[in-house]
Structure 1
Amino acid sequence: MFSSIESVLVVSLLLTPVISGLLVTLLKRKRIIEVTTVVSSFLILIQGLFLLSSILEKKSISLFDGIFYLDSLSAIMIITISLVGFLSSLYSVNYMGIQYDKLIVDRQKLVRYYQGFNMFLFTMLLVPISNNLGIMWIAIEATTLVSVLLIMLYTKQGSIEASWKYLLISTVGLSLALFGIILFYYANSVYDNSFNSIHGMDWTNMVENALQFDPNLVKFAFIFILVGFGTKAGLAPMHTWLPDAHSEAPSPISALLSGVLLNCAFYGLLRFHIISSHSIGSGFSNTLLIILGIISLGIAAASIYFQKDVKRMLAFSSVEHMGIISVSMGFGVFLGIYGALLHVINHAVVKSLLFFSSGSISQKYQTKSITDTSGIIKTMPITGFMFLIGGLAIIGMPPFNIFMSEFLMLSSGFSSENFLASALVILFLVIIFASFGKHLLHMVFGNPKSEMEKGDFGKLSILPMVILGSVIFIMGIYVPEPLQTLIEDASKIILVGGANS
């Protein structure tokens, strides 16, 4: 049935979280469902690494008559999803275990959490391997439906309101994206009487035929795509669902939402950016990406300055970083695209560390208030140190990984002569640096409450933080050669439209 090892790996990659979710549903015992999910997510990581190896060798892989297509851009997403997914499953054991012991969640909610966790991984993994853009849209929409159930896990008023807001805004946004996909499909079909409707929605087919598309139709369609997928990616001003959803979700899910889900939506946007660039040149979509990116940075800067809730602060930080990725992609030069793709990975790692550490901190302090959380380094030495590393990294301090990718992105702005946009980016980053840094120093080095008991939580909450902290430091100094090659290849895929315009 399967003609290659890659076929087996892709099918296994998708079936692993589905089987794990079914086992969770059937077994229902706390320890068993925890182990099942951790083992499953570890297998996903291993399979992702094997696929990475194949893609590095073959550059692109088409499977099952073109239904699935993987290239370097897909591989970046798969590795990010699988790494953050595995570490989130490890962290969940301790985080959700504490909530179970404190009767915050019962066994039914714990089972629902692990069911949702596994299905969330499945839906996100389906996004980067889908060649058919309709299937990719279905997968992104499915991530919304699954994550809504995880956000409202606690069934409190705040979580239910956040879930409905997220569902409504994201669904409206993705409906607009669907309309854009239909317009691209129409553009692909209208010029050729021998059009193959079966593969007409395949990304590879659209890229091949893009030069024949009606330019005005492409511009119209891309606006719908940008607003639609931009809503799900957290780009302002369509970002309003994001702070509420991230704030109310369990911390491991917040890490997946911020570190991975936003990237999945931006990945969908990039695929259409490539088609548009192939068809009409990159100038139109680049300009729109720069504008929305700068708006996102400006709103994030103002929001972080006035923020009082730590998880909402981290959520607005995600708006900031999706904004700078968008701007850098819009600069349209190799250095900026390379830096943006590196930043996709860097942001996922750093933001996961921050949500993990802030989750443990909020469990210890029984609050998400920035004002009421102080002296973490004294009460929770390891967690406080990890939170400090994550905080310094997220605001771009050397020698951590985000400094490297932000430096590349800002350099590309000046090399591409986008001086005004680059100046605005620097201005907003300085404001964010000062605002986030102020909150960070208060939380880490302030005076803790005298009655606060000292000590970190269990090893399974510390271990993923230490792994992430190590990755942050290592990638701030050196990007492994296979990853460099992968990002270079993905950057060339994105640039090919502009090169042919």
Structure 2
Amino acid sequence: MTPTLALYLPIVAPLAAAGVAALLGRRTAAWVAVPAAASILAAGLWLATAVTGGRAVASGLLRGDALTTFMLIVIGAVATIACWAGVHHLADEAATGNGTPAAARRYLILVQLFLATMSLAVLADNLGLLWVAVEATTIVTAFLVGHRRSRASVEAAWKYVVLCSVGIGIALLGTVCAYATAVAAGAHGTTALNWTYLAGHTAGLDPDLTRLAMGLLLLGFGTKAGLAPMHAWLPDAHSQAPAPVSALMSGVLLSVAFYAIWRYKAITDAVLGPGYTRGVLLVAALASLAVAALLLIAQQDYKRMLAYSSIEHMGMVALGTATGSRLAITAVLLHVLGHGLGKAVAFCGAGQLLHLSGSSRIVAVRGLAARHPALAGVFGLAVVALLGLPPFSLFASEIGIARAGFTGGTAGATAVAFILVLVAFAALTRNSAGILLGAPDPVPTIDPPATDPRAGSGRPRPAAIAPLAIGLAAAAALGISLGPLGELLDSAAATIVGGH
């Protein structure tokens, strides 16, 4: 594989898989989706050998540097788990009579388009093209959120479309401002929005227009990233989407939106200094952590519980990004990968719970460890990973964010943030303990009557546990040693901190 081929493969492979899904049967197309997702991971790993040390690979409108490559690895790793779990999700839907062949085909096509648009977003060497790609993810995922066509899912889809469209509209205004300041500095045509041009001509960018552009882009892409106060779409959308889609939205889409913030932060900091973006991101981080911590306390729905956990972790990403040091950004990038793996396992495990119980209420699945130990094991370990406990990588990344914050000029905000993290930790632990170890109801609800429209056979498929176990193993391995990813993380952090 050549580096140029590796740039196009993450877009072409999902599009080819979408074509296969349109032509072939559900079972074959579902399995084809797995190597298509794995090809994104393979392309990222291949590019990693070519871009470390500040190098980059470019072709047409696409460009891959260390940050792009790292994001491709995140997308590919989470997508492989989600698409593999999606094979069994569709089989469960078919077994219970809830999934028609047409619905399964539509699901498979939309998921692959979702992967292609996210890959395009991180590969784009142009702020305008990135905006188009992120807007395309909104359109595609709106249909996936409303996939079940129930009243709740359709309502969640509309809420998602309205709020995210407002955010993306604000980001468009920010893009126009960025274009205006680049043109004023002497750029022409589409070059004015190229990352490489903007990063190389920061001395000529107008500070006032740059400040306005960054404020709008932070608000716009922050909406898509699930940051407070524009987070309201996230719990509904993630709780109503099919479990593998929730895994992709939480584990990858939020981080892809944050990728845009990282890119423009490097430019803004070179023009204005780090103080402006630091202040805005600290407010968003603390607001997101407070919202997540408070709403997790009284949460009674396990899919919504995981959604609020995503807001918490995006708050941590915002906190580390606000600190802005090399250590903080490296920890943030590791956090993104660890959160993606942990949340993919947790949401796909939640999908198995929903299939077995027919309910997303916590009281419907109490005593899971006694009833289904294997499923309880992977779900419980995924929660342990999301809590930031060793040996999983979120433990190392949160320690890194804390160290950077206490030594990098944001000690007060970091202290408040970790107090809120402890509140969220306690709430998530209590709710998860109820699922795993709580006394079951007098009438078993984990094996519901056959009249329940979403009830399964009462036993999780052993093969459905395999991708979840692999995801947990990867998260634990990253917590023990970064291995060859260490150099890539360092180069990617330099891209954000140094703006080159």
* TM-score normalised by L of structure 1: 0.95
State which of 29, 35, 45 in structure 2 corresponds to 1:49.
45
Question: Equivalent residues in 2 for 1:411-426 (5 A)?
Answer: 411-426=403-418
**What is the CA distance between 1:367 and its match in structure 2?**
1.0
Q: Is the 8 A contact 1:77 1:264 kept in 2?
A: yes
Q: Which moves more between the two structures, 133-142 or 206-215?
A: 206-215
> SS state of the match for residue 372, structure 1?
helix
% of aligned pairs identical?
Answer: 31
> Contact between 2:53 and 2:491, CA under 8 Å: does it hold in 1?
no
Q: Are the aligned partners of 1:211 and 1:280 in contact in 2 as well (CA < 8 Å)?
A: no
Output the amino acid matched with 1:388.
Answer: G
The equivalent of 1:9 in structure 2 is 6
Distance (whole Å) between structure 1 residues aligned to residue 185 and residue 54 of structure 2 = 32
Matched AA of 2:281 = L
1:489 aligned to which of 491, 494, 497? 491
CA distance in 2, matches of 1:425, 1:202: 35
- Residue 23 of structure 1 pairs with residue 20 of structure 2: yes
Write the mapping of 1:337-348 to structure 2, written as runs, cut at 5 A. Answer: 337-348=329-340
The 5-angstrom pairing of residues 231-380 of structure 1 reads 231-380=223-372
The amino acid that maps onto 2:132 is I
Aligned counterpart in structure 2 of residue 62 of structure 1, from 33, 42, 58:
58
Counterpart amino acid of 1:54?
Answer: A
1:177 aligned to which of 167, 171, 196: 171
Structure 2: runs of 5 or more not aligned: 448-456
Q: Deviations over 1:189-217 (max 9, x none)?
A: 1133xx33231110110111112111111
CA shift for structure 1 position 58 = 6.6
Pairing 1:31-110 to 2, within 5 Å after superposition: 31-56=27-52, 59-64=55-60, 67-110=61-104
Is the partner of 1:62 in helix, strand or coil?
strand
Alpha-carbon distance between aligned partners in 1 of 2:124 and 2:364, rounded to the nearest angstrom: 46
SS of 1:69 mapped into structure 2: strand
8 A contact 2:41–2:74 mirrored in 1: no
CA distance in 2, matches of 1:344, 1:294: 18
Deviation at 1:459, TM superposition (A): 3.4
* 1:158 match: 152
Instruction: Give the partner amino acid of 2:493.
Output: S
Match of 2:453 in 1: none
Q: 2:395 aligns with which of 399, 403, 406?
A: 403
Q: Which amino acid aligns with 1:430?
A: L
Number of the residue aligned with 2:451: none
Structure 2 counterpart of 1:191: 185
The 5 A counterparts of 1:410-489 are: 410-449=402-441, 451=444, 452=446, 456-480=459-483, 482-489=484-491
User: In structure 2, the residue corresponding to 1:273 is in which secondary structure?
Assistant: helix
Q: How far apart are the structure 2 equivalents of 1:318 and 1:13?
A: 25
Question: Which residue, out of 134, 141, 145, partners 1:140?
Answer: 134
- Paired residues, what number? 489
**Mean CA deviation greater in 87-96 or 455-464:** 455-464
Q: Contact conserved, 1:378 with 1:448, CA < 8 A, in 2? A: no
SS at match of 1:398: coil
- AA at the equivalent of 1:51: L
Give the Å deviation of 1:455: 7.0
- For 1:242 and 1:152, the matched residues in 2 are separated by 14
Superposed displacement of residue 418, structure 1: 1.7
Letter in 2 for 1:140: V
Is the CA contact 1:52–1:79 (under 8 Å) kept in the aligned structure 2?
no
Measure, in 2, the Cα distance between the counterparts of 1:58 and 1:414.
29
Q: Which structure 1 residue ranges, 5 or more long, are not aligned?
A: none
* CA deviation vs aligned residue, 1:457-477 (integer Å, no higher than 9, x gap): 223311111101111222222
CA distance in structure 2 between the aligned counterparts of 1:58 and 1:331, rounded to whole angstroms: 22
For residues 297 and 63 of structure 1, the distance between their equivalents in structure 2, rounded to whole angstroms, comes to 40
Assess if the C-alpha contact under 8 Å between 2:41 and 2:76 holds in 1.
yes
**What does the per-residue CA deviation read over 1:377-420, in whole Å, with 9 as the maximum and x for residues that have no partner?**
11111110111111112112222221110010011111113221
Give CA deviations for 1:341-369 in whole Å, capped at 9, x if unaligned.
Answer: 11010100111111011111121122111
| Structure 2: distance between partners of 1:7 and 1:495 | 26
Structure 1 CA distance for aligned equivalents of residues 411 and 325 of structure 2 = 14
Shift of 1:57: 6.6
Amino acid of the residue matched to residue 241 of structure 2?
A
1:34-88 CA distance string (max 9 Å, x none)? 2221232233332332122222377311222xx2111111111100111111111
Q: CA deviation at 1:456?
A: 4.6
1:93–1:460 contact (8 Å) kept in structure 2: no
Alignment-mate amino acid for residue 345 of structure 1 = L
Amino acid at match of 1:210: T
| 1:13 Cα deviation from its structure 2 partner | 2.5
Contact 2:325 2:497 in 1 (8 A): yes
Q: Is the 8 A contact 2:126 2:194 kept in 1?
A: yes
Could you tell me which residue of structure 2 aligns to residue 211 of structure 1? Answer: 203
AA paired with 1:469? L
TM-score normalised over the length of structure 2: 0.95
SS in 2 for 1:198: helix
- 1: CA distance between counterparts of 2:66 and 2:33? 27
